[in-house]
Amino acid sequence: MKSNEIALSNRLSCAVNALQEVEQASDQAGLSREQANILRLLTEEMISMTTDILQNCKGSLWMEWEGLSCELHLTAVAPIEEEAKAAFIEASKAKANAPVKGLKNRISALLAGMLSSETYPELYTSMGAGFIEDMSTGMSPLYLVPTWSLAAYKEGQKKEQKDAELEGVEKSILTGLADDVIVSVKNHWVELVVKKAFEAPLQAAMPKFIGLSHVCIFVDDMMEAVSYYQKLLGVIPDHYLSHWKNEGFFKAGGFIREAADGEVSIAFVNVPGTKLTLELMQYHYPEGRKDPVIFAANDVSGARHIALKITNIKEAFLHIQSMPDTRLINETQEYKVFQISETSPAEVHFFDQDMRESDTRNVQTAQILSNVQYFYFIDKYGLQWEFEQGHSDIGD
The model's pLDDT over 333-387, given as tens digits with 9 standing for 90+, comes to 888 888 877 778 888 777 677 777 788 888 888 888 788 888 888 999 888 888 8
Q: Are residues 302 and 276 in the same domain?
A: no
Q: What is the mean pLDDT of residues 5-10?
A: 86
Q: Are residues 91 and 137 in the same domain?
A: yes
Give the pLDDT of residue 143: 39
pLDDT at 121 over 80: no
Q: Are residues 277 and 297 in the same domain?
A: no
Range of the domain at 347: 292-396
| Residue 6 zone, left/alpha/beta (φ > 0; ψ -120 to 50; rest) | beta
Give the pLDDT of residue 144: 46
Q: Is residue 202 part of a domain?
A: no
Q: Are residues 383 and 247 in the same domain?
A: no
Give the pLDDT of residue 173: 62
Q: Is residue 161 part of a domain?
A: yes
Q: Is residue 367 part of a domain?
A: yes
How many structural domains comprise the chain? 3
Q: Phi/psi of residue 329, each to 5°?
A: -70, -15
Q: Are residues 341 and 278 in the same domain?
A: no
Give the pLDDT of residue 65: 96
3-state SS assignment for residue 285: strand
Whole-number Cα distances in Å, 124 to 80, 108, 143, 318, 341: 18, 10, 13, 89, 91
pLDDT at 142 over 70: no
pLDDT at 60 over 60: yes
Q: Is residue 204 part of a domain?
A: no
For β-strands 69-77 and 189-197, DSSP reports them as antiparallel
Q: Phi/psi of residue 378, each to 5°?
A: -120, 125
Query: Which of the two residues, 264 and 222, has the higher pLDDT score?
Result: 222
Residue type present at position 346: A
Give the pLDDT of residue 8: 85
Q: Are residues 21 and 44 in the same domain?
A: yes
Give the pLDDT of residue 171: 56
Q: Are residues 179 and 322 in the same domain?
A: no
pLDDT, tens only, 227-285: 999 999 999 988 777 776 654 444 444 444 444 456 778 888 899 998 888 888 888 88
Give the pLDDT of residue 136: 47
Percent of the chain at pLDDT > 70 equals 68
Q: Phi/psi of residue 94, each to 5°?
A: -65, -40
Is the preceding peptide bond at 286 cis, omega within 30 degrees of 0? Answer: yes
Highest mean pLDDT (candidates 28-37, 74-83, 112-121, 305-314): 28-37
Q: Are residues 252 and 344 in the same domain?
A: no
Q: Are residues 297 and 275 in the same domain?
A: no
Q: Is residue 203 part of a domain?
A: no
Q: In sequence order, which residues have a C-beta less than 8 Å from that of residue 4 and are 6 or more positions away?
A: 21, 62
